[in-house]
Amino acid sequence: MPRFRILTPEASPTHFFGSEVRRAREEAGMSQAELGDLVPCDKATVSRVEAALIPPDEAFARACDAAFPQMGGFFTRFLNDSGGWTATVAPSFRPFAEDEAQASAIFVFENTLVPGLLQTADYSRALFASYPGVTGSDIESLLAGRHARQAILDREDPPAMWAVIDEMVLHRDVGGPEVMAAQLRHLADIASRPRVTIQVLTTRVHVGVQGAVDIAEKPGAPAVAYLDDLADGRLANDRGTVEYLLDRFRHLQSESLPATASRELIGRLAEQRCEQNGGSAVTAAARAATAWKSAGPTA
């Protein structure tokens, strides 16, 4: 019995498209090779599209519409209507985003910014607005991608997440006191979830000053890592490098405050930010835990 890659259709358009191709092909009793003959492409390409490992092109979508007329032209329509979907994350990050969407465990170290999975909409918006040459529509597209990534933490079976954050991240002003107060309150709130652990690293000099890293562990597959930098980062998937990065992460964990003390520190800093803004940030901080999920990034 062949082993199929588990897809998460809500994670990205790539996953959704791939899952629909697989479903339509299997219902039609068609093999991957037979669909490949219609595209035309080889069986491996069909397999990679279905597994969300590569995005489809227009020829592939048209071939699927011809092969599965009962879908009413869905594949070409979806591809055209989702023309900007690949721009929601940096090209170098896209492979890792797919792995992150299927992860059973996620390890994140951040020495500069709040991890993307834990950002509020206003914090992300202020961050994206600092990018050179960015437009309003660019920001909304980036926010949509960020929001889609964060959906994995709201699943019924979310991955376990361990985040180590340099204390300087909590003091860096992104968006002003009100935005920061809301962001810090959101961190404190999300840290109370049973599958999320946040630790603050208060040591001034540590191995993590060299850069941020995200690591995703998937069931039945090797872990992969993403190293962030000014060139939009790079993927690391060889076993030796990932094991080395996991070892560094565990060392940073051991140097950090325990989870409870970290949550208390974040809460105190949130209150200080509220006071800096004359207390007006209190309402925003209380809203932060639900606004991002319920309103979405374009609200």
The three-point CA angle 28-29-30 to 5° equals 90
**pLDDT tens readout for residues 19-69:** 889 999 999 999 999 999 988 888 888 887 887 767 788 889 999 999 999
CATH number of the domain where residue 176 is located: 3.30.870
pLDDT, position 14 = 74
Domain annotation covers residue 7: no
Same-domain check for residues 52 and 92: no
pLDDT, position 97 = 82
pLDDT, position 79 = 79
- Asked whether 111 and 211 are in contact (CB, 8 A), the reply is yes
Same-domain check for residues 288 and 198: yes
CATH number of the domain where residue 36 is located: 1.10.260.40
Same-domain check for residues 74 and 190: no
Domain that holds residue 37: 13-82
Residues 179-209 as b or e (16 or more Cβ within 10 Å = b):
bbbbbbbbbbbbbeeeebbbbbbbeeebebe
pLDDT, position 146 = 84
Residue 280 has pLDDT above 50, yes or no: no
Same-domain check for residues 49 and 95: no
Amino acid at 248: R
Mean pLDDT of 218-246: 91
Residue 4 has pLDDT above 50, yes or no: no
pLDDT, position 299 = 31
**pLDDT tens readout for residues 104-148:** 999 999 999 999 999 999 999 999 999 999 888 788 878 877 887
* pLDDT confidence bin for 238, thresholds 50/70/90: very high
Domain annotation covers residue 1: no
Mean pLDDT of the residues in the chain: 83
Same-domain check for residues 123 and 241: yes
Q: Domain boundary residue among 61, 82, 103?
A: 82
Mean pLDDT of 181-192: 96
Domain annotation covers residue 290: yes
pLDDT, position 154 = 86
Q: Domain boundary residue among 47, 64, 82?
A: 82
For the question of whether the overall pTM of this predicted structure is more than 0.75, the answer is no
pLDDT, position 89 = 66
pLDDT, position 270 = 93
Nearest to 200 by CA among 147, 142, 264: 264
**What backbone torsions phi and psi does residue 218 show, to the nearest 5 degrees?**
-115, 145
* Sequence-ordered alpha helix ranges (H) in 216-299: 239-255, 259-276, 281-295
- Asked whether 17 and 49 are in contact (CB, 8 A), the reply is yes
Same-domain check for residues 170 and 235: yes
What's the total number of domains in the chain? 2
- Laid out side by side, the sheet with 196-201 consists of 196-201, 160-166, 105-110, 213-218, 221-227, 234-236
Domain annotation covers residue 4: no
**pLDDT tens readout for residues 86-98:** 445 666 787 788 7
pLDDT, position 296 = 42
Same-domain check for residues 119 and 217: yes
Same-domain check for residues 48 and 117: no
Chain CA centroid to CA 146, Å? 6
Domain annotation covers residue 46: yes
Quick one: angle between helices 136-150 and 121-129, nearest 10?
140
Nearest to 82 by CA among 35, 38, 18: 18
Domain annotation covers residue 255: yes
Domain annotation covers residue 21: yes
Same-domain check for residues 92 and 199: yes
Same-domain check for residues 132 and 264: yes
Same-domain check for residues 158 and 78: no
Domain annotation covers residue 2: no
More confident residue, 277 or 285: 277
Residue 226 has pLDDT above 80, yes or no: yes
Same-domain check for residues 67 and 128: no
Q: Domain boundary residue among 53, 82, 111?
A: 82
Chain CA centroid to CA 149, Å? 3
